Amino acid sequence: MTNEATLSASLPLWREYYELCKPRVVALIVFTAVVGMFLATPGMVPMVPFAFGSLGIALGAASGAAINQLVERRTDAVMARTMNRPLPAGRLDTGSALAFAGLLGFLSMALLVTFVNTLTAVLTFLSMIGYAVVYTLYLKRATPQNIVIGGAAGATPPVLGWTAITGQVDPQALFLFLIIFAWTPPHFWALAVHRYKEYAKAEVPMLPVTHGLKYTRLHILLYTIVLFLVTLLPFATRMSGWLYLAGALLLGAGFLYYAIALYRTGDSRLAMKTFGYSIVYLMGLFTFLLVDHYVPAL
């Protein structure tokens, strides 16, 4: 077999490992971590902690995502949204997935300890365990507040980015944590409203399964209001300026529009639009944070 044929034959397998990492989720995690890095310093970030910090955080997030899919493979098999993932579809075996996740986690820790700092490595490890073990193995099936409690692990990326540059956790980094922490419930519950029958079939006690759709839509609205208020903290504490405030108000108004419309109509299609907007919202909000940070220097 020629080298070209060998490479061609190996590509589908590598594609499965790629999907095991939840690349879209990892991309959002790395983006918010990178913004945290830039906000941590008044000038440009030093290249070594920036490059290796970004890579180490990405590998840690990918490891956690792979472990999540490994643990959830039986649940994923009965849900239309996830049944075609590599493990439930049988395109990867559990041993290979576990070894791959372990390798990613080891590389993440090695890079962060060697080239960044120990604090970032420890926090990344705790976040990885919090998501892949505490949330996936216990919280997800223990309480309908799983997303609220487990959201702490998913809210850490900008703090990880911040500590990669400064070596310490500053109060301003915690504002970024609070934004993602408040964003997580309305983001995931919007998806859960649309997919509640699948969660019920898989016996996962998501809020719309245990408390009903109307109750969940109300909580999406309430948490969106909390999120709107939390996003004002960077401006209120002079961490960010008027450009960020304008962006936060505009994006927040859009999120509130969807949350109110979803609460009033109960349209499941609107739930997916709300879910989709929530992703655009978070990326837009952190983009405004980043641009506003450098406006005075332009």
pLDDT band at 11 (very low <50, low <70, confident <90, very high): low
Q: How far apart are CA 128 and CA 138, in angstroms?
A: 14
Contact assessment for residue 129 and residue 150, using Cβ atoms and an 8 Å cutoff: no
Statement: residue 298 has pLDDT above 60: no
Nearest to 79 by CA among 226, 192, 170, 232: 192
User: Could you tell me the residue ranges of all domains in the chain?
Assistant: 13-169, 171-298
pLDDT of amino acid 85? 92
In this model, does residue 155 exceed pLDDT 50? yes
**Which pLDDT score, from 0 to 100, does residue 114 have?**
97
Instruction: State the Cα–Cα distance between residues 132 and 125, nearest whole angstrom.
Output: 10
Instruction: Give the homologous superfamily in CATH for domain 13-169.
Output: UbiA prenyltransferase (1.10.357.140)
Residue 250: other Cβ atoms inside 10 A: 12
Q: Is the pLDDT of residue 157 over 60?
A: yes
Question: Can you say whether the dihedral through the CA atoms of 248, 254, 257, 263 is positive or negative?
Answer: negative
Task: Map tokens 């809210």 to a residue.
Answer: 155
How many other CB atoms are there within 10 angstroms of residue 241's CB atom?
14
Q: Rounded to an integer, what distance in angstroms lies between the CA atom of residue 187 and that of residue 37?
A: 24
Of the candidates 98, 19, 30, 20, the one whose C-alpha atom is nearest the C-alpha of residue 58 is 30
Q: Average model confidence (pLDDT) for the chain?
A: 91
Asked if residue 31 lies in contact with residue 286, where contact means CB atoms within 8 angstroms, the answer is yes
Percent of the chain with pLDDT over 70: 95
pTM for this prediction: 0.92
Q: What gap in Å lies between CA 55 and CA 62, rounded to an integer?
A: 10
- Region 94-122 average pLDDT: 97
pLDDT band of residue 137 (cuts 50, 70, 90) is confident
Q: Exposure string (b/e) for 193-230, b if CB count within 10 Å is 16 or more? A: bbbbebbeebebbbbbbeeebeebbebbbebbbbbbeb
Give the tens place of pLDDT for each residue, 251-289.
Answer: 999 999 999 999 999 887 899 999 999 999 999 999 999
Torsion, Cα 237 239 245 248, to 10 degrees, reads -100
Q: 1-5, 31-35, 160-164 — which is least confidently predicted?
A: 1-5
Whether residue 10 has pLDDT greater than 60: no
Reported as a single tens digit per residue, the pLDDT across 244-256 is 999 999 999 999 9
